[in-house]
Amino acid sequence: MSAPPALPLDVVGIQKLLPHRYPFLLIDRVVELEPHKRVLAYKSVTINEPFFQGHFPGHPVMPGVLVIEALAQAGGVLWQMSHDGTADGRVFYLVKIDKAKFSKMVVPGDRLELEVKLKRTIRNMALYEGVARVDGAQAACAEIFCAEARD
């Protein structure tokens, strides 16, 4: 078992923990970690994001579903860093999203702050509570249930 990566964790370190790659890797930095409890990560939102081409022309808004996906990815980082600190070929999938709420639009220039707390684990599954904020104001929140893929 190797030690978890040191913080802050940059995108290169994140890619060692998650299978996601451009354009779907939605976390740029991990700055805080309480193993098996909580993680705080950032996503710097720029006009160069491919989804802004169509969502919406002349009024770019990050799709809410991608904000939720960013929270789920932060949950994946929490899981990996709380265990052995490597992806090790494991892949987790979203199983369920509950209590999703969108409170503020996320636009180019925003830094999305992603705070995810582990509520409970059941075998190869985890239930997370996530809050996405911009400048301290809640942009979205949800409960996210993920499960490890089994062959």
Question: What is 61-129 written as a DSSP string?
Answer: ---HHHHHHHHHHHHHHHHHHHTTSS-TT--EEEEEEEEEEE-S---TT-EEEEEEEEEEEETTEEEEE
Residue 61 corresponds to which tokens in the numbers above? 């808004």
- 20 is known as an active-site residue: no
Classified as helix, coil or strand, 139 is strand
Catalytic residue among 36, 55, 59, 83: 55
Residues 61 and 55: beta-carbon distance below 8 Å: yes
As annotated, the active-site residues are 55
